[in-house]
Amino acid sequence: MNKRADLGITEQAAEGKLTDEAFAAARALIGCKLRPEQYLRDASVDSIIIFGNGIGDLNPLYRDQEYARWTRFGGLIAHPCFPWTHHWPGRSYWGLPGV
């Protein structure tokens, strides 16, 4: 056991393949208005804290309300990447799959 064949490992790349059909489907989207899916709707205290925890940023400005209250900001602030939770084009399901 533990041989490549036994584990189902092949020489094929795990990524998507660029085929003529995939390019034709992508070209068909030219001129179409693509609307990305909205991930979050509100910038609540909980969503800001959960985002900071989720990306592993331990900065207390993004996670600790008591600490943040005594800073020049006067309260919790969102991580600079937090706006991407409201508009994240990568969550749309179009384009070249696997690429």
pLDDT digits (tens, 9 = 90+) for 54-66: 999 999 999 999 9
- Contact residues for 47 (Cβ-Cβ < 8 A; gap 6+): 40, 85
Confidence of residue 69 (pLDDT cuts 50, 70, 90): very high
Sign of the CA dihedral with 50 first, then 55, 58, and 62 last: negative
In a domain, 3, yes or no: no
Confidence of residue 73 (pLDDT cuts 50, 70, 90): very high
Domain count, the chain: 1
Contact between 92 and 34 under an 8 Å Cβ cutoff? The reply is: yes
* Of the candidates 34, 33, 30, 79, the residue with the CA atom closest to the CA atom of residue 54: 79
Mean confidence (pLDDT) of the chain: 78
In a domain, 68, yes or no: yes
In a domain, 51, yes or no: yes
The structure tokens listed for 89 are 């084009």
In a domain, 16, yes or no: no
In a domain, 74, yes or no: yes
pLDDT digits (tens, 9 = 90+) for 19-29: 888 888 888 88
In a domain, 90, yes or no: no
- Give residue 76's domain range: 37-84
**Does the pLDDT value for residue 83 go beyond 80?**
yes
Torsion of the alpha carbons at 76, 81, 82 and 85, rounded to the nearest 10 = -170
In a domain, 2, yes or no: no
Output 6 or 64, whichever has higher pLDDT.
64
In a domain, 46, yes or no: yes
